[in-house]
Every structure is written in structure tokens, then in C-alpha cells.
A = this chain, B = another copy of it.
Amino acid sequence: MRDELAKIEWLRARFELDGPPSAAIVGIGDDAAVFDFGARPTIVTVDAHVEGTHFRPALISFRDLGWRAMTAAVSDVWAMGGAPSASVVALTLGPDLADASFEELIGGLDEAARATGARVIGGNLSRSSLVSITTTAFGRPIVEPVTRHGARPGDGVYVTGTLGTSSLGLAILEAEAQGLDGAEPFVARWRRPPNNGGAARALARVASAAIDVSDGLIQDLRHLCRASGVGATIRVDLLPLAPNHASLCEMLNLDPLTFALSGGEDYELLFTAAPSAEAGALGTKIGEIGEGSGVRAVDESGKFIAIQRAGYDHFS
């Protein structure tokens, strides 16, 4: 297995194949990278993927793990209405990780970075008993930063893509049920979160507030409502679900609504906007912002639906 220096040399060569990323003045291999973020404000976010907490190695390839870690971090840039520009990645690796696995992990990180625009400009390697990937991602506001603070009564609540798909995919893997008809797209979504770069460009122009769905719809909408000082009502019959969501849940004896309301790691964009054709083209309208506080779920007839659990909390 390559030692630390050999790993760094490999990384330097690996990332210099096409020359340094534009605007990177010093790339991999020095004490620090130097990057020209330009004159506009810079969006900065950091996200961790930790073995045993965010993934078990048995459930995901190193390549997909790299894609997942990078895309999850970049998702926060999109949720701020930003265009990703660069990233630095800190890895902790077991002392006996095979070089091929290391290369696959880096390949997945780089593949996702290139797909999103967040070119890898630096990083750090440490030994640990756990694999972890901590990704700091940078971007520029496409228009102005879209915070969680701007939702106003009368705004619609919209979400891109589908809800609960990723968490149902993980449940399918945990149940070793990936052979079921229609299960594969759910597993694939858990392993590879979506590239929402195009959605972020539209979002930057229409959204009054935004957040990405990482903890679960209800929990993340609560964050947004709390920051904006408003409340929200969600229509459970309007929640966008992937094909076969209900039938797979039935086969596995799982509650389809709990996954949609509380399943984390969809990394879809949840945003509020004055109702418009453009907002409706970007995402599914699932509810409305009102006065007050908190998030309520109702059915088609307006009857309240009990929320089993809000979403994922690392420390409860």
C-alpha cells in the first residue's frame, strides 16, 4: 500500500492531468491551496460523511461514497442559490485501505466535483479506525444568497425531485431487498444524490427562502420556518413520490408517508416562493406558508395528519 507521501504524490498527479482548475493559483501539494474566489461574496459550507453514522461500507462502493460525500456538501451551496466553484476534502482512512479503494473514492469525489463545478483544490489525509470524508465546498451566489430567512405568508412551499426515495433505498438495502421489482432506483438514489445544479440556477431567481432536504422534509421545513418566523401547512397528498414507493413500502411492511415526511438524505431543494409558473416548473408545490409557527401536515380534505417523527437528529 502507498505510504502518505506516495498517496499525496498520486493525488497531485491525479488532479494535475488537465492542469490546475481555473482560478486555482496553488493546487494540491502545498501547505494550503490558493484560490481566486473573485470579487463577489463566497458561499462556504462543510459536510461530513462518517463510517457507521452516514454509511456502512458493506452498502456502498468507494466510488459511490465519493460521489455521495461531494454531492451532499455541494447541495448546501445549491440551497443557498449558489454555483459551486471549488472544494477541499479531508479524508480519514484505515491504515490497511487498499490503493484501489482509495483511488475509487477519489474518483467518485472528483467525478461529482466535475459534474457540479466544485473542482477539488486541496485536502488532508489522516489515518483513523473509521473512514470519513469531510468536504468543504465553495460557491458564488448566482444572484443573491438565498437564506432560510425569507419565507413570507402566502408563499408556496415547493420541492424538487421526490421525497423519501433515498431513505427508502437505504431501508431496502438494510432489509437486503434490493432484488424486489422497482427497488433499484431507490438504492441508486441513496448511493448517488441528485445533481441539482440546474435547479439551483432557477431557484436563485424565484425562491424567497431555501434549504436542502438532508434531515427530512418536516425537520428541514421547521428549520426554514423558524428562521423566517412563519408557519407552514403541507398537503400529504401532494408529496412527490418515486414510482413504486407505495408498493415497495407495502411489500416491506413500511409506512410510505413516514419516509416522505421524515426520510433524510434526499438532498432535494425545498424552497418557498410566491406562486408562479416558474416556481411550479422547478418543483412540486406541496403546501403553503402562513402566519404563526411550526409545520402541520394535512390531507386533501384538510384533516390533520399525525407526524410520527420529524427527521434525523445526530444527538437525540
Binding site for B on A (CB under 8 A): 1-5, 7, 25-26, 29-37, 39, 41-48, 50, 52-54, 76-77, 79-80, 82, 86, 88-90, 92-93, 95, 121-130, 132, 134, 136-139, 141, 145, 147-149, 210-212, 227, 313-316
Contacts and interface: CB of A to CB of B under 8 A. Distances in A.
A128 B130 contact: yes
Contacts of A3: 313, 315-316
Nearest to A210: B31
25 contacts: A1-B315, A3-B313, A29-B148, A30-B147, A31-B45, A31-B79, A31-B80, A31-B212, A32-B43, A32-B82, A33-B44, A34-B43, A34-B44, A35-B41, A36-B41, A37-B42, A42-B42, A48-B90, A50-B92, A54-B126, A90-B90, A90-B134, A95-B315, A125-B314, A132-B132
Chain B CB within 10 Å, residue with most, of A4, A93, A212: A4
Contacts of A82: 32
A192 B3 CA distance: 28
A32 B139 CA distance: 10
B148 A31 contact: yes
A10 to B, nearest CB: 11
B128 A30 contact: no
Nearest to A88: B46
Contacts of A127: 50, 53, 314-315
A246 to B, nearest CB: 30
Contact of A34 (B53, B86, B141, B314): B141
Contacts of A132: 92, 128, 132
B30 A80 contact: yes
Chain B CB within 10 Å, residue with most, of A46, A95, A139, A316: A46
A3 B90 CA distance: 26
A34 B44 CA distance: 6
B50 A147 contact: no
B32 A90 contact: no
Contact of A316 (B4, B26, B90): B4
Contacts of A141: 34
A124 B47 contact: yes
Contacts of A47: 90, 124
Contacts of A41: 25, 34-36
A313 B128 contact: no
